[in-house]
Protein backbone atom coordinates (compact mmCIF):
# COMPACT_ATOMS: atom_id res chain seq x y z
CA UNK A 1 0.00 0.00 0.00
CA UNK A 2 1.27 3.43 -0.89
CA UNK A 3 1.33 6.21 1.68
CA UNK A 4 -1.35 8.79 0.97
CA UNK A 5 -0.91 12.52 0.79
CA UNK A 6 -3.75 14.86 1.67
CA UNK A 7 -3.15 18.35 0.40
CA UNK A 8 -5.55 20.36 2.48
CA UNK A 9 -7.22 23.68 1.82
CA UNK A 10 -6.06 26.38 4.26
CA UNK A 11 -7.62 25.68 7.66
CA UNK A 12 -8.33 28.46 10.05
CA UNK A 13 -5.81 27.83 12.76
CA UNK A 14 -6.08 28.68 16.39
CA UNK A 15 -2.67 30.31 16.10
CA UNK A 16 -2.59 32.67 13.11
CA UNK A 17 1.14 32.22 12.47
CA UNK A 18 0.81 28.47 12.04
CA UNK A 19 -0.17 26.81 8.78
CA UNK A 20 -1.15 23.15 8.47
CA UNK A 21 0.30 22.23 5.09
CA UNK A 22 -0.25 18.56 4.34
CA UNK A 23 -0.99 15.20 5.91
CA UNK A 24 0.74 11.97 4.94
CA UNK A 25 -0.83 8.74 6.14
CA UNK A 26 1.38 5.67 5.90
CA UNK A 27 0.71 2.18 7.24
CA UNK A 28 2.92 2.88 10.28
CA UNK A 29 2.42 6.60 10.92
CA UNK A 30 0.54 9.80 10.26
CA UNK A 31 2.77 12.74 9.50
CA UNK A 32 1.46 16.29 9.59
CA UNK A 33 3.62 19.03 8.08
CA UNK A 34 3.38 22.61 9.31
CA UNK A 35 4.88 25.96 8.46
CA UNK A 36 5.25 28.61 11.16
CA UNK A 37 5.95 32.26 10.47
CA UNK A 38 7.51 34.11 13.39
CA UNK A 39 5.30 36.73 14.98
CA UNK A 40 5.95 40.47 15.07
CA UNK A 41 4.45 40.57 18.55
CA UNK A 42 7.96 39.95 19.89
CA UNK A 43 11.01 42.01 18.88
CA UNK A 44 12.97 38.95 17.73
CA UNK A 45 9.98 36.89 16.57
CA UNK A 46 9.42 34.99 19.80
CA UNK A 47 9.80 31.24 20.09
CA UNK A 48 8.05 27.97 19.27
CA UNK A 49 7.78 24.47 20.70
CA UNK A 50 5.25 21.64 20.84
CA UNK A 51 3.71 20.02 23.89
CA UNK A 52 4.76 16.36 24.13
CA UNK A 53 1.18 15.42 25.07
CA UNK A 54 -0.18 16.65 21.69
CA UNK A 55 -2.70 14.24 20.20
CA UNK A 56 -5.18 13.69 17.39
CA UNK A 57 -8.83 13.10 18.31
CA UNK A 58 -10.94 11.33 15.68
CA UNK A 59 -14.36 12.96 15.72
CA UNK A 60 -16.76 10.07 15.18
CA UNK A 61 -15.02 7.43 17.31
CA UNK A 62 -13.35 9.67 19.89
CA UNK A 63 -10.14 7.64 19.47
CA UNK A 64 -7.02 9.51 20.59
CA UNK A 65 -3.69 9.11 18.81
CA UNK A 66 -0.80 10.44 20.88
CA UNK A 67 2.11 12.24 19.22
CA UNK A 68 5.06 9.88 18.73
CA UNK A 69 7.73 12.34 17.67
CA UNK A 70 8.31 15.85 16.43
CA UNK A 71 10.81 16.70 13.72
CA UNK A 72 12.42 20.14 13.42
CA UNK A 73 10.62 21.56 16.46
CA UNK A 74 11.62 21.06 20.09
CA UNK A 75 9.21 19.59 22.62
CA UNK A 76 8.32 21.58 25.71
CA UNK A 77 10.14 22.66 27.86
CA UNK A 78 12.77 23.08 25.12
CA UNK A 79 12.21 26.08 22.83
CA UNK A 80 13.16 27.18 19.36
CA UNK A 81 14.05 30.86 19.55
CA UNK A 82 13.54 32.85 16.38
CA UNK A 83 16.14 35.40 15.37
CA UNK A 84 13.77 37.92 13.87
CA UNK A 85 10.13 38.63 13.06
CA UNK A 86 10.64 37.34 9.50
CA UNK A 87 12.10 34.01 10.64
CA UNK A 88 10.18 30.81 9.90
CA UNK A 89 10.06 27.13 10.78
CA UNK A 90 8.97 24.08 8.81
CA UNK A 91 8.26 21.08 11.03
CA UNK A 92 6.49 17.70 11.14
CA UNK A 93 4.54 15.90 13.85
CA UNK A 94 4.20 12.11 13.79
CA UNK A 95 1.24 10.12 15.16
CA UNK A 96 0.02 6.53 14.77
CA UNK A 97 -1.71 5.91 11.41
CA UNK A 98 -5.16 7.39 10.98
CA UNK A 99 -7.82 4.89 9.77
CA UNK A 100 -7.82 4.51 6.00
CA UNK A 101 -11.12 6.29 5.37
CA UNK A 102 -12.71 9.72 5.12
CA UNK A 103 -12.81 11.25 8.58
CA UNK A 104 -12.61 14.42 10.63
CA UNK A 105 -10.21 14.98 13.52
CA UNK A 106 -8.97 17.60 15.94
CA UNK A 107 -5.32 18.23 16.60
CA UNK A 108 -4.93 19.18 20.24
CA UNK A 109 -1.79 20.53 21.81
CA UNK A 110 -3.62 21.36 25.02
CA UNK A 111 -7.07 22.29 26.28
CA UNK A 112 -8.68 24.61 27.21
CA UNK A 113 -7.44 26.43 24.15
CA UNK A 114 -5.45 29.68 24.36
CA UNK A 115 -4.36 31.87 21.43
CA UNK A 116 -0.78 30.54 21.34
CA UNK A 117 -1.63 26.82 21.24
CA UNK A 118 -1.26 24.83 18.01
CA UNK A 119 -4.81 23.44 18.12
CA UNK A 120 -6.75 22.65 14.97
CA UNK A 121 -10.41 21.66 14.98
CA UNK A 122 -12.47 19.73 12.43
CA UNK A 123 -9.69 18.85 10.01
CA UNK A 124 -11.27 16.71 7.30
CA UNK A 125 -9.39 14.21 5.21
CA UNK A 126 -11.33 13.04 2.20
CA UNK A 127 -10.41 9.56 1.00
CA UNK A 128 -11.39 10.47 -2.57
CA UNK A 129 -8.81 13.28 -2.63
CA UNK A 130 -5.88 11.21 -1.32
CA UNK A 131 -2.84 11.14 -3.62
CA UNK A 132 -0.64 8.02 -3.41
CA UNK A 133 3.01 8.76 -2.63
CA UNK A 134 5.28 6.92 -5.06
CA UNK A 135 8.23 6.39 -2.74
CA UNK A 136 9.08 4.70 0.51
CA UNK A 137 8.97 7.14 3.42
Partner 1 sequence: MSLTKEAYIRYKIIDECLTNKFHPYPTVEEIIQACEERLGKTFTISCLQKDIRAMKEDEAMGYHAPIRFSRQHMGYYYSDPEYSINSIPLNSDELQSLEAMADVLSTFSGSRISENYNQAIQKIFAALKEKTTQQGGRRRIIQTDSQINHKGFEYFEKILHAIINKIPVGFIHYSYKKRRFNSIIAHPVLLKEFQNNWYVLAYSEQHRQLRVFGLDRIHDPLFLKTKFHPIDADTVNHYFDNIYGTYPLLGEKLQKITFLVDPLLSDYLKANPIHASQKAVFVASHGMVKFELELVLSQELVNFFIQHSPDIFILKPQNLIKRVSESITRAGIHYNLKKHVRKTI
Q: Which residues bind to partner 1, rule: CB under 8 A?
A: 2, 5, 7-8, 19, 21-22, 24, 33-35, 37, 86, 88, 90, 131-135, 137
Q: Is 61 left (phi over 0), alpha (psi -120 to 50) or beta?
A: alpha
DSSP character at residue 107: E
Q: In angstroms, rounded to a whole number, what is the distance separating the alpha carbons of residues 53 and 115?
A: 18
Q: Are 71 and 64 in contact (CB under 8 A)?
A: no
Give min distance, CB of 22 to partner 1, in A: 4
Closest CB to partner 1 among 77 and 132?
A: 132
The CB-of-10 to partner 1 minimum distance in angstroms stands at: 9
Our CB check for partner 1 shows the closer of 88 and 116 to be: 88
Nearer to partner 1, 61 or 90 (CB): 90
Q: State the nearest-atom distance from the C-beta of 62 to partner 1, in Å.
A: 28
Q: Is 17 left (phi over 0), alpha (psi -120 to 50) or beta?
A: alpha
Looking at beta carbons only, is 2 or 52 nearer to partner 1? Answer: 2
Using H for helix, E for strand and C for coil, what is the string for 71-91? Answer: ECCCECCCCEECCCCCCEEEE
Least separation, in Å, of the C-beta of 48 and partner 1? 13
- From the list 97, 96, 98, 93, the residue with the least C-alpha distance to 119 is 93
Amino acid sequence: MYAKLYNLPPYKPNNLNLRLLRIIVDKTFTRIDFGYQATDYYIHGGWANIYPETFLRIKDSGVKLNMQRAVNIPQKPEKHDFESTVDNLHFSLFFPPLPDRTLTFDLIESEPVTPTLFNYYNVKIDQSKAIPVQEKL
